[in-house]
Structure 1
Amino acid sequence: MKKLIYMTLALLVFSCSGTKSTTAKQPSKKMLKGTWEVSNIKFVGDKGLYKAFLFDLADSSCFKGGEWVFIPNNGSGKFSTNVNSSVCEAYTQTIHWSFLESADGFTQFQFKYVGDDVKAKNVKSGYRGTIQEISENMMILKVASEYEGNPFDVILTYNKTSDSIEM
């Protein structure tokens, strides 16, 4: 009888042990290979007016229609803002990017600004967003932001436009 109880307990322990959820697809760098466009930007938070200055660079509206290029083998890339109003200036920035598995189980997309004379290892700060959804052709990224002391999230939807990775 003791053996039966021990085997039942062992079975319960092994069947209830913590495992990582397989419902969320873990991204690989190869999934982002190519050229992507920010097709949609929305704000999530309490009702009110939102203004987001993203990545210490420009108003969020300047990123809609902007192009991002991701090269997976070395984590390099670039993005360009879209000049769609008098608020936006044309701007292209070289980046170094990667994925980070956060403590809450979500995957984060992170990047640093780099350049000809600035290497990623010498850059102490960067930017992160939580990947809400990702596939070979689409990524939804949630970026925490704040306006007038009120926190909210900016949701960026990226759609793949090409397999080209020209810098």
Structure 2
Amino acid sequence: MRNLILLILTATFLSCGAKKLVTSKEKRFEGNWYLEKITYNTDANYNVTLFNDASKYCFEGSSWKFLRDNKSGNYVVNKTNCETKVRDFKYEIGNEDTATGFYNLVLTPINGNISKSYNLFLKDLDMSSMKWQESRTIDGIQFTIEMRFNKFD
């Protein structure tokens, strides 16, 4: 009987393990962040528009806020010559991608009636920093965009 109870408890914990891992990531995700740096894995000089909104130049230095309770947030671009209004979004942290070991991250900006989701990877996350990764194909060339954030609250 004791072995049966132990087996049931073990199965229960294992089946909830992935959800608990995502929940712990969401707890660390919550708060105020600063988008420090955006890099590409190529030396080519592309003027990439991120989230159908602004350039790399505008996004570097932007302030981001993530709310865990309703999986929403906003960001503000802070640079001169960039539109500085508050942009709202929804997000979802999915399960770990077996090929990369990163977590799937879906970001959906809320721009009036336009709702396009962006699939990213949550590459690294701790209590004070995180990295996102996005793959793009431009002019037939596959490359990776990495966004590095620092937490400031």
Indicate the TM-score class for this superposition, using the shorter chain for normalisation. 0.7 to 0.9
Distance 1:30 1:66 in 2: 21
TM-score in terms of structure 2 length: 0.74
Cα contact 2:72–2:88 (8 A) shared by 1: yes
| Segments of 4+ moved more than 4 angstroms | none
Q: Corresponding residue for 2:132?
A: 141
Q: Do the aligned residues in 1 keep the contact of 2:132 with 2:148 (CA within 8 Å)?
A: yes
Correspondences of 1:9-158 after superposition (within 5 Å): 28-45=25-42, 47-84=43-80, 86=81, 88-101=82-95, 102-104=97-99, 105-114=101-110, 123=115, 125-158=116-149
Shift of 1:89: 1.9
Amino acid at match of 2:37: N
Aligned mates of 1:53, 1:110 — CA distance in 2: 17
Aligned to 1:14: none
Aligned length: 131
* Structure with the greater alpha carbon radius of gyration: 1
Cα RMSD for the two superposed structures: 2.4
What's the offset of the Cα at 1:103?
4.9
Paired with 1:33 and 1:82, the residues of 2 have a C-alpha distance of 21
TM-score (norm 1): 0.68
Structure with more contact order per residue of length (Cα contacts < 8 Å, sep ≥ 6): 1
For residues 52-78 of structure 1, give each alpha carbon's deviation from its aligned partner in whole angstroms, at most 9, with x where no partner exists: 111111111111110110011110111
Q: Which amino acid aligns with 2:90?
A: H
Which structure has more helix as a fraction of its residues? 2
Q: Deviations over 1:110-166 (max 9, x none)?
A: 111236x76xxx94x30121122110111011112243332211111010011xxxx
The code of the aligned residue for 2:86 comes to T
Q: Show the counterpart of 2:12.
A: none
